[in-house]
Structure 1
Amino acid sequence: MLATRVLTISTSVCVRAHESVVKSKDFSLPTYVDRRDYALPDVAHVKQLSALKEKEKASCSSLSTDEKVELYRIKFRKSFAEMNRGSNEWKTVVGSATLFICFTALIIMWQKSYVYGPLPETFDKEWVAVQTKRMLDMKVNPIQRLEKNEWKK
């Protein structure tokens, strides 16, 4: 009985201890959006304001360039120059397309050598005769010859 009581007490303590770990986000508030066509987002990039914000209330000439940049970063994640900068995604696209084309070329070369066999250098009469005999044996002709007794049907 004592063991079950200790087990239930320790279990309830563990459950209470982990209640504060899981926190859900509030999706009813607007989110930060960094876009060129939407220049002023509804929400600041950084939620907690720093001591630098208090220093901003004084003269702007007392702020250094780095401090001015930090103040800008409180509201915005990227500047317009950073948003306009191109990405290197085109390298990935060109590289994967080249890889696909090379892989396809390897498959075609493998098929030409192992599936189709070697091609004859010149179409001599002996080779044409053998191929014609093979086609006639397989009845590959698109127009099938009808026997005379089949015409009457």
Structure 2
Amino acid sequence: MLRVALHRVVSHRSVHLTKVRPSMVVGFGGPVQLAENRDPNVNPIFHESLTNPIPDKPRTLKYTGDLATLKEMEVGDWKKLSVEEQMDLYNSYFGTSIADMCRDQDGWKSVLGAGMIFISFGLLLHLFIHLYINPPYVWTTLDEDWVKASIKRQIQSHAGDITGYSSKWDYANNRWK
């Protein structure tokens, strides 16, 4: 399984990072672009997924070398084949197993890590702004005696007769309404 995963990474990387050239292979949407260093015996339009686990076209176009001898041995008794040979034959037919297709991906860990980094940068920015840019808290807003004296001054000066403290003060009885 590790070999299949490594092959997938290397083949995808070679397709995306190398210069591509047009070939004579016709795919579903027209000519298919092949990488120059890609194995010519691998079918470029081979695609398997959970919705199509057994594709119509084979993965390997032409068996050469060890795979040709394995292909001849395939006709005989499979009990004579070793586990590695059976896996090589399986990998010549299919790119991944159903278990590999059903396995959960680990991409959520990267997304979670990136989210945590952005949250930490946001918290550090908030701390920086709070400490160095915003003015310090005014002591008068925290002192209870000062707040009571401010309310008393507002009532005496009739400040906010419609919606302020003065609107809730009964001036005739000298108490709150």
TM-score range, shorter chain: 0.5 to 0.7
TM superposition shift of 1:110: 1.1
What percent identity do the matched residue pairs reach? 28
Moved more, 97-106 or 112-121: 112-121
CA distance in 1 between counterparts of 2:85 and 2:92 reads 11
Q: Secondary structure at the match of 2:22?
A: coil
TM superposition shift of 1:122: 4.3
Taking only aligned residues, the RMSD between alpha carbons, in angstroms, comes to: 2.5
Match of 1:85 among 103, 118, 121: 103
In structure 2, relative to structure 1, the CA distance for the partners of 1:43 and 1:111 (3 Å cut) is same
User: Which residues of structure 2 form unaligned runs of 5+?
Assistant: 1-19, 29-44, 151-177
Larger fraction in helix: 1
CA distance in 1 between counterparts of 2:55 and 2:24 reads 18
**Given the alignment of the two structures, is residue 96 of structure 1 paired with residue 96 of structure 2, yes or no?**
no
| Structure 1 runs of 4+ with >3 Å offset | none
1:95-134, aligned counterparts within 5 Å?
Answer: 95-123=113-141, 124=143, 125=146
Match of 1:34 among 48, 56, 60: 48
The residue identity in structure 1 corresponding to 2:60 is V
Higher RCO (CA-CA < 8 Å; seq separation 6+): 1
In structure 1, what is the equivalent of residue 23 of structure 2?
A: 25
Aligned length: 107
CA distance in 2 between counterparts of 1:101 and 1:33 reads 39
TM superposition shift of 1:67: 1.2
The residue identity in structure 1 corresponding to 2:54 is L
The residue identity in structure 2 corresponding to 1:25 is S
CA distance in 2 between counterparts of 1:114 and 1:70 reads 64
The residue identity in structure 1 corresponding to 2:126 is I
User: Which residues of structure 1 form unaligned runs of 5+?
Assistant: 1-21, 130-153
- Computing the radius of gyration from Cα coordinates, the structure with the larger value is 1
Q: Secondary structure at the match of 1:25?
A: strand
CA distance in 2 between counterparts of 1:23 and 1:96 reads 36
Q: Secondary structure at the match of 1:26?
A: strand
The residue identity in structure 1 corresponding to 2:101 is M
Larger fraction in strand: 2
In structure 1, what is the equivalent of residue 62 of structure 2?
A: 48
Q: State the TM-score, normalized to the length of structure 2.
A: 0.53
In structure 1, what is the equivalent of residue 159 of structure 2?
A: none
CA distance in 2 between counterparts of 1:34 and 1:121 reads 69
